[in-house]
Amino acid sequence: MIPLLVALALAPAGPPPPPPAPPALDTAWFAGGCFWGVEGIFEHVAGVVSARSGYAGGTTRNPTSEQVYRGGTGHAETVEVVFDPARVSYRQLLMIFFLVAHDPTELDRQGPDSGTDYRSIAFYRDSAQRGAIDALIADLQAKHIYRSPIVTEVVALKAFYPAEAFHQHYMEHHLDDPYIATNDVPRLAALRREFPGLYRAVW
């Protein structure tokens, strides 16, 4: 007679357990001047899965960079940020956007770049994101974080159009570019200084 434990060991195994469900990801969209630097900053945030440069806020479908630069499309240079809410919250991304990635008090410009395609916009997908944006702007203004008023537009996202391939990950591959070194590398240093718990070195 086979002992019980041996019999159990010899019994055919049941089906393997299902693989764990992938984490539920979320998406945010920010326009804050040239998308090269904004994309590069968010790529260094722990919990961000991907950042992609593109255009949003206008009426022209599938615009090219030339069309956007010439004007008339209504689009602003925008970065799509896919993130894991279990590792970084939407409010934390908003704080990085408003405090590090750009200056939300500059109207229709950002640093050396001017025009409506460089305007500041926090896009929202639903009422929860809209509420988070409004609450943070109110908090920043109540605490007088900036001397000038915040001019960031709060806009419902209608469509996001990815930019051409040569715009993607531009900062990563052009750190020695004078434009990047002057305008974007200091903001990356500010991310590391102001949000050390969220900063990660990726390149």
- Residue 85 to residue 23: CA distance in whole angstroms: 9
Q: What are 91's two structure tokens?
A: 């409010």
Q: Let me know if 70 is a catalytic residue.
A: no
**Catalytic choice (28, 31, 34, 133):** 34
As a whole number of angstroms, the distance between CA 63 and CA 85 comes to: 31
Task: Spell 130-162 as b/e; 16+ CB within 10 A means b.
Answer: bebbeebbeebeeeeeeeeebebeebebeebbe
Q: What is the chain's alpha carbon radius of gyration, rounded to the nearest angstrom?
A: 22
Of 110, 109, 133, 124, give the one whose Cα is nearest residue 41. Answer: 110
Q: Which residues are catalytic?
A: 34
